[in-house]
A and B are shown apart, each in its own frame.
Chain A
Amino acid sequence: MASTTFRVFRFQPDSGETDAYHQDFDLAHEEKTTVLDALLRIQNEQDGTLALRYSCRSAICGSCACKVNGKTVLACMTQVEVAKAESGSDVVQVDPIGNFAPIKDLVVDMTPFWEKFKAVKPFLIPDGPAPEKERLVPKEAMEKVFKESACILCAACYSECNSLAADPEFVGPAAFAWGYRFAADERDAQRRNRARLYSGEHGVWDCTRCMFCNERCPKGVDPRDAIEKLGAIAFQEKVTKDKGARHAKAFLISMRTGGKLNEQLVGGYTDPVGGAFNAPLALRMLQKGKLPASPLTHRVKNRDQVTKLMKNVKETI
């Protein structure tokens, strides 16, 4: 047997208390008890007002994502003792997933998450009528979208997403993983339209590449990789007018010509009109030595190695 203090996020709108707070619950439990089992025992034995979502308790329904000692996890898949050992703390703090408004305790309003999921047209749109039997799809082609198909929509990625913290309208990692799952499905006929739909404001290029979604996804979906692959699809489909795509392209040109990043060229190419309005930023960058005074001096030695590297990368995509 082990014993743990659970510091649980409480928000009880019915009580008239409008502020959230943390409440400690002490629980003696078995060594391998999961955070979910512990919370359910607290609910059953100590405080029936504790609210949380959960169902399958085998890491597949996606209901019970929450933050355990600051890290978004599935409560059903996380053992209390492991969480303690990882954080080096005897207290297990449980908070609701981030980037959502609370409803009660650990239950949050997931409406924006579901709306964004629907916004990526998460359904197959094939061309022409279906055949009598199954469509024939090479094994490898189907496996290409298996990883993203394992997304359980638990919103762990959404909870950890830094782009969302800055821009609440950002579509988010899970929805884009689903977007990729259909864009890359060879049975789908909307690849180009999807590339357009997923670009633009709040789209794939707005991802800050912080990698937290990959890090925290409990099912190994790697949403950031999906976003990256959607970027590649956008290029393949020539959907490159978007500011984000132009930025990527400028990056590429800069590397190809100079073998090194040229901020002036990138800035100007990304946003030729709006770029002028960024003069104060450019000035600050210049002061800090982040901007070369002249674009022409910017070349590296051994540029052939950079070219070779880029060729290799291109061949593996």
Chain B
Amino acid sequence: MRAAIAAHEAGVDVALVTKLHPVRSHSGAAQGGINAALGNETDDNTENHTFDTVKGADYIGDQDAIEVLCQRAPLEVYKLEHWGAVFSRQEDSGKIAQRPFGGAGFPRTCFAADLTGLVILHTLYTVCVKYNIPTYEEWFVTDLVTDDSGNAVGVVAYDMIHGRVETIGAKAVVMATGGAGRVYRPSTNAHASTGDAMSLALRKGVPLKDMEFMQFHPTTLAANGVLVTEGARGEGGYLLNKDGDRFMSTYAPNKLELASRDVVSRAEATEILEGRGIDGCVLLDLRHLGRERIMERLPQIRELAIAFAGTDPIEEPIPVKPGAHYHMGGVHVDHWGAAPHMPGLFAAGECACVSVHGANRLGGNSLLEAVVFGARAGEASAVYAKEAGTPDVPVNAADETQARIEGLLLRENGPRQGAIRDELSTVMQEKVGVFRSDGPLREAKAKVDELRERFQGVVVDDKGKTFNTDLIHTIETGYLLDLADCMVTGAIARHESRGAHSRTDFPDRDDEKWMKHTLAYLDDGEIRLDYSPVAMTKYEPQVRSY
């Protein structure tokens, strides 16, 4: 939506296509906040923000792109405020309040209680309503359309209400479909987070970057993987093991609970593995913050903990564990969101890899990435569209989708998507998790290959045209298989530990051999890897400690 707003403001015709309704998107589940060095709480600046992000990324983020991100951050936060976002305010000045977050040297995270994502998502939607931007709601994109020269000239989409396939031609396409957290189980991600754009691009020859880097959030609810914001620790929450020790003092003596997410998740996993957890969890203790603070700053967390864990954080600690949360990898694009391998194609947000998060994203940088690179992709696509001629949309663009759907609906006897998805997410959780090593990774790869094979014979129970969720899920499962394959293949090859990719058989970071981006291509059904250099400006790699 940020891209659509930017493109609209740049004077081009733009439409949104979404498989949900815009306000149902998963950005709404982001809780804690959005980073910008406004300096409202302390003397902060964009240089600090840049350094924290470079370090958080474990030196594999592109430094030029991170500079863009941090420099534009204040402007974008102010814009959201001007559009009506209800940011929490400071007591006296009426300025936007900022809270401490993991891996950050200063209180830099702007927030609206613990509903920041919802407020930003809604704010952007209200601007789309104001601008009257046409929206295709519940249209599921099944294909990326290219012309004879390989330029992106639109998408093929399936109207979920009426069950028809249409080609939507366009001079430029901006993809912003979010993450692929559903490759894992449990996951903090929505059911809809199936990484659609990544798979669509991959199938058209566009490489995916740094796919092996999946972030595990340190505080997710044991029952169902629902997120407990980092803001809970930002507000002063403790992590305790079964002995009641604040164990982070062993792993990150300076930043404690507010070390980078990869560091905290590994610490928790180690505590649990070494027998100091409770039922596979550690405890997040907020009691000392007091009722008033919890009600003012973390109301949603309290509500979710009561609903899903049966725990009122005012009274007792919440059992939490690391859970798949954010995917650093994505469609390979530059810092204008443009895909170098396909003119006319742009991507922004979690489905894209610019890369600003490198091997580990800092909390509060994902909403920021979505608005900064959303805006830039919108602007750049508008410039591109103004120069592009009438798109040469092949008349038979929708044929492949049509045939695929008809084939799926006609097929009888075979596995259903649910079983394949469950097995996939389970194996990814078990063997491609917080700690990785060659043996389990290869077992995971074998399982993914087997599931890909079985998926060829998948059947759809629902043969109807109206709101066929079974059909949609089946197509999504195909996307998940593509992405899992990229993740595992990249993880097997990367013989080092960096950020969220932690190999027990290669425990050290290896800058000499591995300070490079992984690029995954799909060639004849097989994932092929290539590599590209990391953009450096002035930040030399250092030992990373918190």
Which of A's residues lie within 8 Å of B, judged by CB?
12-15, 32, 34, 37, 43-45, 47-52, 54-63, 77, 103-105, 107, 110, 114, 118, 122-124, 126, 130, 132-139, 142, 145-146, 149-150, 152-153, 182, 185, 187-188
Cα distance A34–B304 in the bound complex, in angstroms: 13
CB-CB under 8 A from A124, the residues of chain B are 82-84, 126
Asked if B112 is at the interface (CB within 8 A of a chain A CB), the reply is: yes
* Contacting pair A56 B26 (CB below 8 A): yes
* Contacting pair A57 B191 (CB below 8 A): yes
Which of B's residues lie within 8 Å of A, judged by CB?
20-21, 23-26, 28-29, 38, 74, 77-78, 81-84, 86-91, 93-97, 112-113, 115, 118-119, 122, 126-127, 129-130, 161, 190-192, 223-224, 226-227, 300, 303-304, 307-308, 310, 416, 418-419, 460-470
- Nearest-neighbour CB distance to chain B for A115, whole angstroms, equals 11
Cα distance A242–B374 in the bound complex, in angstroms: 44
Lowest 4 CB-CB distances: which A-B pairs, in order?
A48-B461, A14-B464, A124-B84, A44-B418
* Contacting pair B95 A49 (CB below 8 A): no
CB-CB under 8 A from A152, the residues of chain B are 23, 28, 118
* Contacting pair A149 B191 (CB below 8 A): no
A sample of 18 more A-B contacts (CB under 8 A), given A34-B224, A123-B126, is: A49-B461, A49-B462, A50-B469, A51-B468, A54-B191, A56-B190, A58-B227, A58-B304, A60-B115, A61-B24, A62-B23, A77-B307, A103-B466, A134-B38, A137-B89, A146-B113, A149-B122, A185-B84
Cα distance A195–B91 in the bound complex, in angstroms: 30
Main SS class of interface, A = loop
Query: Known interface pairs A55-B24, A149-B112. Does A142 touch B87 (Cβ–Cβ under 8 Å)?
Result: yes
* Contacting pair B29 A134 (CB below 8 A): no
CB-CB under 8 A from B88, the residues of chain A are 139, 142
* Contacting pair A134 B118 (CB below 8 A): no
CB-CB under 8 A from B112, the residues of chain A are 146, 149
* Contacting pair B115 A150 (CB below 8 A): yes
Cα distance A163–B78 in the bound complex, in angstroms: 40
Cα distance A107–B87 in the bound complex, in angstroms: 34
Query: Known interface pairs A49-B464, A59-B307, A123-B129. Does A145 touch B94 (Cβ–Cβ under 8 Å)?
Result: no
CB-CB under 8 A from A122, the residues of chain B are 126, 129
Partner of A61, one of B190, B419, B469: B190
- Nearest-neighbour CB distance to chain B for A238, whole angstroms, equals 25
Q: 29 A-B pairs, CB-CB below 8 angstroms?
A: A14-B465, A44-B418, A48-B460, A48-B461, A48-B462, A49-B461, A51-B469, A55-B26, A57-B190, A58-B227, A60-B118, A107-B467, A123-B84, A126-B82, A130-B82, A134-B95, A134-B96, A135-B81, A137-B89, A137-B94, A139-B89, A139-B90, A139-B94, A142-B87, A146-B113, A149-B122, A153-B23, A185-B86, A187-B84
Cα distance A126–B95 in the bound complex, in angstroms: 18
- Of listed B86, B95, B112, residue having the most chain A CB within 10 A: B86
Partner of B466, one of A44, A104, A138: A104
CB-CB under 8 A from A130, the residues of chain B are 78, 82
* Contacting pair A45 B418 (CB below 8 A): yes
Partner of B127, one of A110, A123, A145: A123
Partner of A59, one of B21, B38, B303: B303
Query: Known interface pairs A44-B418, A56-B190, A134-B87. Does A13 touch B126 (Cβ–Cβ under 8 Å)?
Result: no
Cα distance A44–B416 in the bound complex, in angstroms: 8
- Nearest-neighbour CB distance to chain B for A3, whole angstroms, equals 20
